[in-house]
Amino acid sequence: MQGPSSSGTEAEKPLVVVAGRSNVGKSSIVRCLTGKKVRVGKKPGSTRREFLLDLGPLTLVDMPGFGHAERLSKVAIEASKRRTVASLETWGKRIAVAILVVDVSLFKDLTDRWEARGEIPIDIEFYSFLSEICREVIIVANKSDKLDKRNFSEAIEYLQSKMAAAEPERRPSIVVTSSRNKTGIDELKTRIEQALSTQGFAKPAW
């Protein structure tokens, strides 16, 4: 499958890219948005290459997950991350909207673990990266069905505070979803369409 840099009118279409760590539900979100039979894996790292979907006036790109992946060495995982970053940098201004999918049920534990080692958590690092190269970034707080009512508000507030601290000049745009229960998808579609509209782009052919 050819990438967004292929020749012809396809190469001129704006892009909506869906990125995130492995096993956060990126492909499931894409399937919920589009109704297309996108490959959804049960193991981390199931999406190994960009998966492109033609949505009429734009192209949606399901990016490979970064971080842990089943059966891949650390060297291969790092190489995959570099390829993802390189692709996003190459597409640059063609990216109208970047969607960062986060597993909100694990975000706090993973963030605390990384920060305890003196490292920048990978979700936060990627949010900062996307914020540098993309005009619009939407954070999808997926797997909200795994949070109990007592911890729900705390988890969302923690996510918002961490992302706001990482990029003080950009107010985090967060949509809470559960791809399993198909909740929050309509709101996500609306946010995407609004972000596209402000840039003069037509609605996707969902």
pLDDT given for residue 173 in this prediction:
98
Alpha-carbon distances, residue 20 vs 108, 136, 162, 194, 197 (angstroms): 16, 16, 16, 22, 24
CA 49/CA 1 separation, integer angstroms = 9
pLDDT given for residue 67 in this prediction:
66
148 has which bridge partners? none
Contacts of 151 (CB under 8 A, 6+ apart): none
Give me the domains of the chain, ranges plus CATH numbers: 12-183 (3.40.50.300)
pLDDT given for residue 147 in this prediction:
96
The low-confidence residues of the chain, meaning pLDDT below 70, are: 1-11, 38-48, 67-77
pLDDT given for residue 39 in this prediction:
57
Instruction: Name the residue with tokens 């369409």.
Output: 193
The predicted model scores a pTM of: 0.87
